[in-house]
Structure 1
Amino acid sequence: MNVLIKSAIIIDTKSEFHNLTQDVLIENGKITDIAKTIKNTNNYQEVNLENLHISQGWFDSSVSFGEPGFEERETIKNGLRAAANSGFTTIALNPNTNPILDSTSDITFIKAKASNSSVNVLPIGALTIGSKGIDLAEIYDMSTSGAVAFYDYKKPISNPNLMKIALQYASNFDGLVLSFPQENKISGQGVMNENITSTTLGLKGNPSLAEELQVARDLFLLEYTGGKLHIPTISTAKTVELIREAKKKKLNITCSVAIHNLFFADEALNSFDTNFKVLPPLRTQKDIDALIEGVKDGTIDMVTSDHTPIDVEEKKVEFDHANYGTIGLESAFGALQTIFTTKKSIDILTKGKQRFGIESNPINIGNKANITLFNPDSKYTFGKNNITSKSKNAIFEGADLKGNVYGIIANNKISLNK
């Protein structure tokens, strides 16, 4: 793949060309020249787009598709097209398929299905067999097959001894354990944040305490065992405080927040729109403010789309019975840009790679081309026409966003939006 990118503003603090408008020549998937003007003497494909900005390729630490087993939600092929159209060159893929990804053959299957894509797919293996929370899965064997972390997606490990053993065992091969932050005995049948809004709407509440108890427990376990722990999709102000204190103690802990938990408060559920039914639930403005501050000061290590396609039959039902989840790849960049500066948004979208063992490729001569192309200044209302995913359960539908993606260049391939 040979391509000449014309007049691109480079946003990459690890590049010597950061903040400069340059031409970038890519030959056989490698950056061979960066200069103010490069002549296209070999008649390569040219990319010359309005207000073109480029950065290192973006990473999303929590993406779900459907295949195998839930192809009606999303296939791997189309899911990767959605990721590429949304600017992501690497995604970590959750194990919530049917069957659950809990063996080496499952990990091998995912890697084989995704092998021809411009998007790098990093499978996350289940932490326990069948994600049932009873017995540890083959986490070492899965790691040798390419699993980058271990997680029972959206299912908390209720047995603290099992979590202790998982952290101890995974530390033998530097494995990364993920623990969903919810104590089910406290959350009960809650379907939204426990607050005045839940009382007004007559919906059962899931209190902040359910998250905070579980996080506190896991941090105590991590302090005892050592190992590497990542807490995905935190949602409360108190959780931010707990993790901030844990980092001061030098515990090996990281965490993420879903972009929609930075954007919407629980009042959004007044319409009973099931696209707003997510887990963890939307919290209060006080929580949102604390989460945004946590992203700014580095307490929260990464922001994820937490992309979860759900077919229409499981969303167009009464709120109590609807499935949790929203798609988010296509809206992630535009939503981030309404909260943070472009520089900070790109920093957020390229952070977290090291935690998941991903190679960094700054935009410098001689490096592999792993690049996202975008226009940070366009404004639009997010709608179904912006969705590539098979499922259309988009929490951001109707939201005013800022910035659109042109595509990606990665894996010696170019993928541009039509």
Structure 2
Amino acid sequence: MNLIIRKATIVDPKSPYHNQTVDVKITKGIIEEIGTSLLNIDNHQEFHHDDLHISQGWFDTSVSLGEPGFEDRESITNGLNVAAKSGFTGIALQPNSYPIIDNQSQVHFVKQKAANSVTDLFPIGALTKGCEGKDLAELYDMRNAGAVAFGDYNKSLSNANLMKIGLQYVQDFDSLVIAYSQDETIKGSGVANEGIVSTRLGLKGIPNLAEELIVARNLFLLEYTGGRLHIPTISTAKSVALIKDAKKKGLKVTCSVSVHNLALTDEKLEGFDTRYKVTPPLRSEDDRKALLAGILDNTIDCITSDHNPIDIENKKMEFDLAKNGTIGLESAFGALLTILPLEKVVEKLTFGKQILNIESHKIKEKSKASFSLFIVKDNWTFGKENILSKSKNSAFIGQPMKGKPIGIYNKGKLIVS
């Protein structure tokens, strides 16, 4: 659709129009003109919204959708519509469906299902067959089919030699290993952060050490093999320090943190509400502050919603037995703006494209039009009525929000909530 977006404040430090309030004229998916009070002589549709801001399209590096196999949790079509209305022009899809995305036919399947959606879908292929940690999956074939990286979602690879081989192998076709980090023997049967709260509540604890041991091991392996490594959803102060030191050494390592680990702590577990049972667990306030500092000094490269829909049968049960995970697309931007400056939020919601070598588009004339639309002044509280996903397992119900996504323009189409 041809469109003129009226009086939008541009948030894009790479754009010559950064922090300016302008009109943006889009013709056939290309930004034709940017200026003030643009004439509409070609009968373009027009869009206006109070306090409207636009940025380069946000990208989420970790989204689970269920389909194929768990369509009751979420479908690809609805999940991508949720992402669009939550301000995301692109997502990286985790392979934790049934069957697992561990071969080229599964990559083709999810890409085909997403073909007509306005939000772009980029599949992550499983690093090992069936995400079982025993044998490498068909990495090269999946890469040729469109997989942008390889990792076993929320499963740490215990076999260090297999991780080493994986890091070496993907260098042949310039790809990326995603290495979730948690020592399962240290974690044991833990269900919450090991600390004062878990002790008081009688919940078995997961010490920070469980994460930090594997982060350190994987960084040693990366130093040995070379190549590129992404460590997702870190949660502890020591993990931030380890990655900071690795970057100083010149290692090609990136990392992410989830919105809920940035905004919430294990104090939320007081009511044994399973919406707060996530992987890695919500940590202490000291860890949360260290994660925020890691964002501000760019040790942490990007922020993910780590959107993981879980059906009610697997959430409404005893805390020890409930599945880990929270949805997060709908609440990501509003929650982040309560704790971080706007430009930093936009930076960390867009940097994932650089990690995965996905093309970015500056907001300038003659560039492809692909951006997120949002407001920044609104203060409100996230409620069940704001959930667009099939599953309702949000850790942010009742949380204060600032600002709100309006939608996206991508692939020549405008989607607004």
TM range (shorter): over 0.9
**Pairwise mapping of residues 90-169 of structure 1 onto structure 2 (< 5 A)?**
90-169=90-169
Structure 1 counterpart of 2:373, one-letter code: L
Distance 2:349 2:197 in 1: 32
Equivalent residue number for residue 307 of structure 1:
307
Find the residue that maps to 2:374 and give its secondary structure.
Answer: strand
Aligned-pair CA distance for 1:361 = 0.3
Look up the SS of the partner of 1:319 in the other structure. Answer: coil
String of CA shifts for 1:40-77, please: whole Å, max 9, x gaps: 12222110111111111101100000000000000000
Query: Is 1:182 matched with 2:182?
Result: yes
Rounded Cα–Cα distance in structure 2 between residues aligned with 1:234 and 1:308: 16
Q: CA deviation at 1:373?
A: 0.8
Q: Matches of 1:196 and 1:267 in 2, distance apart?
A: 9
1:24 alignment partner in structure 2:
24
SS in 2 for 1:364: coil
- What SS does the aligned partner of 2:66 have? coil
Q: Give the aligned residue type for 2:266.
A: D
Cα distance in 1, alignment partners of residues 376 and 214 from structure 2: 38
Number of aligned residues: 417
Could you tell me which amino acid in structure 1 is paired with residue 263 of structure 2? F
* 1:86 corresponds to: 86
Q: Which moved more, 1:120-129 or 1:347-356?
A: 347-356
Task: Please identify, of 33-42 and 212-221, the stretch whose mean Cα deviation from structure 2 is larger.
Answer: 33-42
1:177-216 CA-partner distances (Å, limit 9, x unpaired): 0111100000001000011111110111010000000000
Give the Cα–Cα distance (whole angstroms) in 1 for the partners of residues 223 and 318 of structure 2: 42
- Distance across 1 between alignment mates of 2:387 and 2:356: 27
Which residue is 2:382 aligned to?
382
One-letter code aligned to 1:368: K
Aligned to 1:286: 286
The answer to whether the aligner puts 1:205 opposite 2:209 as a matched pair is no
* TM-score normalized with structure 2 length: 0.99
Question: Helix, strand or coil: the match of 1:92?
Answer: strand
- In structure 2, the residue matched to 1:246 is 246
How far did 1:282 drift?
A: 0.5
Q: Distance in 2 between matches of 1:366 and 1:393?
A: 42
Q: Residue 355 of structure 1: CA displacement?
A: 1.0
| Percent identity between the two aligned chains | 58
Letter aligned with residue 350 of structure 1: T
Query: After the TM superposition, which residues 219-368 of structure 1 pair with which residues of structure 2 at under 5 Å, given as runs?
Result: 219-368=219-368
Query: In the aligned structure 2, how far is the partner of 1:170 from the partner of 1:32?
Result: 39
Q: CA deviation at 1:371?
A: 1.0
Unmatched segments (≥5 aa) in structure 1: none
Secondary structure, counterpart of 1:116 in structure 2: coil
One-letter amino acid of the counterpart of residue 135, structure 1: D
Gaps spanning 5+ residues in structure 2: where?
none
State the match for 2:372 in structure 1. Answer: 372
Residue 339 of structure 1 aligns to a residue in which SS?
Answer: coil
Report the CA distance between 1:342 and its aligned residue.
Answer: 1.2
